[in-house]
Structure 1
Amino acid sequence: MGNAKEHLFSVGELARKASVTVRTLQYYDKIGLLKSMINEGGRRMYTQDDILKLQQIFS
């Protein structure tokens, strides 16, 4: 996380923004297309850069 003020998205938030299912994001994470960060509570978190990566995956 480069910028401390950077907004992080939960897997559900990212799924809604990208119009994909949570399961799709979990699969992409599993095969290494998209790597999440794990917060202190154990939740997967994504950055704005991950939205850009998803756009590249879909194009």
Structure 2
Amino acid sequence: MLVTARIMQGVGAAMLAPATLAVLNTTVTEPGERARVFLVAAALGPAIALVSALLPRRD
């Protein structure tokens, strides 16, 4: 059951990233601003993953 839950979590995360980029692509119309927004989004992804890995677990 835990393995199934982790698989579903991975599928959800895999669907979330393209959806986020699609929203940014349609929301920001100016090319220069769009490049900056995608740069920030690309930089924040690994940073958020690192912070979430370093947070203490609440068991």
Q: TM-score range by the shorter chain?
A: under 0.3
Using the size of structure 2 for normalisation, the TM-score is 0.27
Structure showing the higher helix proportion among its residues: 2
Larger Rg: 2
Relative contact order, higher structure (CA 8 A, sep 6+)? 1
Using the size of structure 1 for normalisation, the TM-score is 0.27
